[in-house]
Structure 1
């Protein structure tokens, strides 16, 4: 295969598995080569510090810490909030509980206790209350020290938690004297869906983690934001976990471009997600969940092929999909997926499901 053929083949692929497949922009790559650098473990990388100051300002917090990944960011936040032997409450469908390898218990002796998520991503306040022991003085029970929420809620269809719900969670946490940590990996998508500045959402939490490397297209990195004292603890934990980076400004430079230039284009991803959802809903045997951000969750149920076969055939035609929880397919739109890409994906899906259309019209 020639280089031209390889480029053409790559361009024909419609990558819908995740918005983590975004690639850094030309501006990011340029800024990475010219960023002023220092040793960030010594606190002397000016570009990393600039990124941290910008992140803290955008979210209305005192300080921020640049992390290698969202998993490490959430883990450092949990360990900073929770003494050993305490509990962190998190949604049963949350990334913290499902996808982050039990790090809080392994590294910090913290129990992550799951609380049921409703279809809209919320956890019933009564269920959260039930996780607190009736008698906190009874030494038999581990005590909650942290309440974790996720917004948008990935495995619940990318659903966005309403502000009034976040206010209720915050009030409960304050009454119970526990902190609130927001896993806001895609918090800028949530802010867009709610039509509020991102700091409004962050204001309902004591700490927030958000990703630079999903829809914002940076190659690496996440931010943890919170109070100055909290971030001092997070920095120490980051070092303990092996996350202290030296000339981190090479990566932070891309993060600065992400926050300054890429948040404004997330509306394109939401529009292409709605375009995909509307097209899928018109196909036979496809059930589509409500779409609020850049994620489309759907099921395929036809008599002539299984969902696994549907995914396999989509892959063979250059449209990449994967199942994500409870037998559903997730398609995530991002900067690498154009309207033309969505239309191509829908054309592929239409051809795959054409036998179902014939069957559905038979008397």
Structure 2
């Protein structure tokens, strides 16, 4: 056994990300029983069923099963943009800071970012970033929003703000794209159907491998014409998965069993926040935790890396986002008891370090 494997196996409570989830026994059983066919020929019945369900939930005409959420975003930009175009997004958006500069490398598009700690901006901020037409300027082409906001601490975009942004996009002939990596977290927390959030958007996608607990995959949705063009990019980027019903089966299981239970993850995130709130040297952000993500801001006496190392001795892993910033993400593989243990371990570690 390698040291890396040993370190991983010693982690009992993993709060680094909801991508840490593993398929349950029942999900694996559904995967093994899934009907399969050649997905690239439109012959995999399980994939077709998954795409039909997601398209319906998002109020879209069609959908496409893809290996990852990053591929969903990048294919959307490849369809919407031409080289030299510009994408308007939050400065802390995943598409800008965590996808290997894919929009620039693949679509030849650049970002015009909006500074917003929550990851949420209003239509007025977008309007200020739309380029007036001029031959020597980049062309504003896409407005991209992230629901929920990752580095905004799981914040939920209000429906009214999304509608205003869609209206602005229409006014200026821009495409509106939703990175819906945690869209179902917003659906459950806000008690609002997904199609209400995505109304009017040209493209949107949902991740299966985060809070829904699947081992892989995302589903990109849009108009029939948009998805037809997205299929070309799926081939070009090596996204062909052939008999992928075995993976889509996990997605169908998740839609049946793992959506409403996201409320447990939200409650657990609030529980962790309550345990550590008030600790000397630590600030919980956001102040009101609404979904499954929260950040721990440390003062100058504490170092995130040192805390993370110490927590591993307790079998706990928490993400390090910077020298004095840590991220906690709850998910279905961490129980309420595990969250309580992690919160107490974090509190004890901080108190010990401060003497």
Is the 8 Å Cα contact of residues 281 and 288 (structure 1) preserved in structure 2? Answer: yes
Could you say which residue in structure 2 is the equivalent of 1:334? Answer: 331
Offset of 1:192 from its aligned partner?
1.6
Find out whether 1:317 has 2:314 as its counterpart: yes
CA spacing shift, 1:238–1:178, aligned 2, 3 Å:
same
Find out whether 1:182 has 2:181 as its counterpart: no
Unaligned runs of 5+ in 1: none
Counterpart-to-counterpart distance in 2, 1:308 and 1:326:
7
2:305 alignment partner, one of 304, 308, 332: 308
Q: Deviations over 1:78-137 (max 9, x none)?
A: 111112321121211000000111112211222222222x22221243332222223x1x
Offset of 1:355 from its aligned partner?
3.9
Offset of 1:27 from its aligned partner?
1.7
Could you say which residue in structure 2 is the equivalent of 1:156? Answer: 152
Counterpart-to-counterpart distance in 2, 1:105 and 1:318:
39
Offset of 1:229 from its aligned partner?
0.9
Counterpart-to-counterpart distance in 2, 1:84 and 1:112:
12
SS at match of 1:139: coil
Note the aligned Cα RMSD (angstroms): 2.0
Counterpart-to-counterpart distance in 1, 2:198 and 2:123:
19
Could you say which residue in structure 1 is the equivalent of 2:234? Answer: 238
Write out aligned runs for 1:98-137 (5 A). Answer: 98-116=97-115, 118-134=116-132, 136=133
Q: Deviations over 1:265-298 (max 9, x none)?
A: 1000000000000111032221001211101111
Could you say which residue in structure 1 is the equivalent of 2:30? Answer: 31
Q: Deviations over 1:54-85 (max 9, x none)?
A: 11111111110000000001000111111232
Counterpart-to-counterpart distance in 2, 1:158 and 1:12:
24
Aligned residues: 349
Counterpart-to-counterpart distance in 1, 2:255 and 2:102:
28
Is the 8 Å Cα contact of residues 304 and 323 (structure 2) preserved in structure 1? Answer: no
Offset of 1:213 from its aligned partner?
0.2
SS at match of 2:259: helix
Q: Deviations over 1:10-61 (max 9, x none)?
A: 5871100000000011121111112111111111111111110011111111
Write out aligned runs for 1:144-293 (5 A). Answer: 144-290=140-286, 291-293=289-291
SS at match of 2:137: coil
Counterpart-to-counterpart distance in 2, 1:218 and 1:355:
38
CA spacing shift, 1:173–1:190, aligned 2, 3 Å:
same
Greater shift, 209-218 or 312-321, is seen at 312-321
Is the 8 Å Cα contact of residues 86 and 111 (structure 1) preserved in structure 2? Answer: yes
Find out whether 1:65 has 2:61 as its counterpart: no
Counterpart-to-counterpart distance in 2, 1:326 and 1:181:
33
CA spacing shift, 1:246–1:12, aligned 2, 3 Å:
closer
Is the 8 Å Cα contact of residues 185 and 210 (structure 1) preserved in structure 2? Answer: yes
SS at match of 1:329: strand
Offset of 1:353 from its aligned partner?
2.4
Give me the TM-score of the superposition, normalised by structure 1: 0.91
Q: Deviations over 1:211-242 (max 9, x none)?
A: 00000000000010111111111111111111
Structure number with bigger Rg? 1
Is the 8 Å Cα contact of residues 284 and 356 (structure 1) preserved in structure 2? Answer: no
Give me the TM-score of the superposition, normalised by structure 2: 0.93
Is the 8 Å Cα contact of residues 69 and 217 (structure 2) preserved in structure 1? Answer: yes
Counterpart-to-counterpart distance in 1, 2:323 and 2:348:
26
SS at match of 2:258: helix
Unaligned runs of 5+ in 2: none
Offset of 1:351 from its aligned partner?
1.9
Counterpart-to-counterpart distance in 1, 2:104 and 2:340:
45
